Amino acid sequence: MKNILYKSAFILTVSLFSLTVTAQKDSTLTRQVLLERDYNPTLQEASRINNTAAIYTPVIKSKELRYLSSVPQISVSNNRLGAAAPGEMGTNVDYSKKRGYLNLGAGNNSNLDGAAGYRIVNSDRDRLDLFGSHLSTSSSIDYIQKGYMYKDAKAKYSASKINLEYEHIFDPSILWIDASFYNTSFNYYGNPFMPQSSDPYPFDMNSRQNVDVFSVGAGIKSRDENGGLLKYVGSVSYQNFKTKYGTQVDDKGPKGGQLDVNANFYTDFGSDKTIGVKGWLMNQSFSGNAGYFPDSYHSLTSVTATPYIKFQGGNWDADLGVNVSAMMDVKNKFLFSPNVKAAIHFNERNTVYGEVTGGVNNNTYLDILQENRYINLWSRVEYSKTLYDAKVGFKSGALDGFEFDLFAGYKKTDKDHLFLYTHSGFDMTGVIKSWANVSTPIYANVGTGQVGGLIKTNLIPYTDLSAKLVAYFYNVKYTGSYSGVHPSFLDKNLEKKTWGRPTFTFELNADVKPIDKLLLSLNYMYAGGRKTFFVGNFATVSEVLKMKDINELNFKGEYQLTDWLSVNARLNNILFQKYELQYGYPLQGFNVLGGLNFKF
């Protein structure tokens, strides 16, 4: 099966290149270098299909706090939740004057933040960009929970990525090729929750896990100027990954590859309709003997096709489609899910909208690495199915300088995963010889409802202000457990909770520009109502615990000294709050970072 998939991908790549043979010259296409292509595989696969791919256009995804079980907040570039991947800080380079940039930042806790890039080729037809980024920290952090053997730990983390991207403009299409290398390393510094009277068991809290990811890809898109009947966009990519350690330091970690193929073919039908079909294929395979049980890292192939039709009226628009998905796993399964969106516009500034989508969440190894790097490596996390994700809302910009969006929705996902604290295991003699604290998933059918609102305004002089408030409610039914999870996790009397996910979130962002060269930014975040199920003292104690609320305030100032040099300073976690995303893993407290930005 794997060989067939790889051969198919090769044939598709050759086909993509063959579409450009008859290329001729055309006008200039001006684009800016991106610090990094969007590297966040946690996006639901249905969303990838529901959106037409864009070339060299980064997808800016909101960091919804209901996914606070993502990655620890040790990013120093903007210190936002889930922003631990490299390249989070954005730098716009004016390529009429400048072709490169260099950003350098450093602060306490050994925080380093840097990025660099250069447009090597910048002609009417060709773009060749080389860029990279780095984030790292090594800080002593006090545990929130008191009365245990360990009071603090050294939290170590780094993430580096280097990219090479090429784009060529033909008459009928645009071709791009890219390659990248990503490395991340970290230690499992989470609280092992050992009683003070315990002997010093050999938990490993110092060794750094290491993951390397090498990626290559290519794609092609028909140009808007192309007068042909059939329009298209397609891409193929392959990511090879290798992990240093498994469940113990003596074990080999998971390694393998992930193949992704995307395609969208469409054509105009009359003056107000578009018909087409989108397709997406993912194959994840593993090599070696990773995992604690036989075939615990079995392969997965997921294929989705979405036929659709789009309507465009005078004051309304609608997208009608259906996702047809097939999952080739231990058992082969199919899923039919909706893909429907509609909006009505009135008075030119008001919109009532609604959508119902769904699809497969593959939860690949690279997905989970970004969602929660401290995962127990006994086995891979299974895929889940979003049966439907419905949302309705009303947004308005009737008042100049003021916009708002009111929305509500409900999503139903089968076999969703929820993370809980555990140890990773024992050796054959019964002695603990593993990571002290890892996250172990249990599976549940989860219904998630949300009600919220968003406002944006620039009515305050020199200020852009936005705020978002969301309340969540859940319906949970446990369906299974990860290997090694304590049986009481699934007991019918266990409190049914979406462990680690909040019931209320609020975010406030303000950018103030009192003078042309000075920009001041303020960010505040709150998330409450999170709980976890704790099993301590070697499974002799178990209880439901309330996790500390997230309550964080960050400040940044940047001053433009010249057209090629600016300075910035960042004050993160000004309220000196202590909280965790994964239980036992406290994040940095107050920290300061300063830096220089060069354009050349």
What's the pLDDT tens digit per position in 525-539?
A: 999 999 998 876 555
In this prediction, residue 78 carries a pLDDT of: 31
Measure CA of the first residue to CA of the last residue in the chain; give whole Å: 49
Using DSSP's 3-state secondary structure scheme, residue 127 falls into strand
Local confidence band at 420 (pLDDT 50, 70, 90 cut-offs) = confident
Tokens for 40, please give them: 């966040």
Instruction: Specify whether the CB–CB gap between 184 and 576 falls below 8 A.
Output: no
* Mean pLDDT calculated for residue range 113-138: 95
Comparing 14-18, 99-103, 182-186, 431-435, the range with the smallest average pLDDT is 14-18
State pLDDT tens for residues 371-411: 999 998 888 999 999 999 999 999 999 889 999 999 999 99
* Mean pLDDT calculated for residue range 192-203: 75
Of the spans 29-38, 148-157, 245-254, 489-498, which averages the highest pLDDT? 148-157
* Mean pLDDT calculated for residue range 425-438: 62
In this prediction, residue 120 carries a pLDDT of: 96
Instruction: Specify whether the CB–CB gap between 414 and 72 falls below 8 A.
Output: no
State pLDDT tens for residues 36-70: 222 222 222 222 223 322 333 333 233 333 222 22
Residue type, 342: A
Flag whether pLDDT at 485 surpasses 70: no
Tokens for 517, please give them: 């060269």
Instruction: Specify whether the CB–CB gap between 477 and 498 falls below 8 A.
Output: no
Q: What is the mean pLDDT of the chain?
A: 81
**Which position has the token pair 């009532």?**
352
Comparing 277-291, 300-314, 330-344, the range with the smallest average pLDDT is 277-291
Cβ-in-10-Å burial (0-12, 13-18, 19+) of 391 comes to middle
The alpha helices in 493-569, defined as continuous H runs, are none
Comparing 95-99, 266-270, 585-589, the range with the smallest average pLDDT is 95-99
Flag whether pLDDT at 121 surpasses 60: yes
Flag whether pLDDT at 592 surpasses 60: yes
In this prediction, residue 387 carries a pLDDT of: 98
Per DSSP, what are the bridge partners of residue 535? 542
Q: Positive or negative CA dihedral for 186, 188, 191, 194?
A: negative
Flag whether pLDDT at 494 surpasses 60: yes
Comparing 256-265, 448-457, 491-500, the range with the smallest average pLDDT is 491-500
In this prediction, residue 193 carries a pLDDT of: 86
* Mean pLDDT calculated for residue range 439-459: 94
Flag whether pLDDT at 231 surpasses 90: yes
State pLDDT tens for residues 70-83: 223 333 333 222 22
Instruction: Specify whether the CB–CB gap between 104 and 595 falls below 8 A.
Output: yes
Flag whether pLDDT at 24 surpasses 90: no
State pLDDT tens for residues 313-352: 889 999 999 999 999 998 999 999 999 999 999 988 999 9
Instruction: Specify whether the CB–CB gap between 486 and 542 falls below 8 A.
Output: yes
> Which stretches does DSSP call E strand in 251-382?
255-268, 273-287, 300-312, 316-328, 332-346, 350-361
pTM of the model: 0.83
pLDDT higher at 43 or 600: 600
Alpha-carbon span 531 to 21, nearest angstrom: 58
In this prediction, residue 61 carries a pLDDT of: 33
In this prediction, residue 290 carries a pLDDT of: 67
Tokens for 12, please give them: 């598709």
Determine what percent of the chain is predicted with pLDDT higher than 70. 76
pLDDT higher at 472 or 6: 472
Tokens for 5, please give them: 């998939």
- Domain 2-599, CATH: 2.40.170.20
Q: Positive or negative CA dihedral for 34, 37, 39, 44?
A: positive
Flag whether pLDDT at 211 surpasses 90: yes
CB atoms within 10 A of CB 206: 12
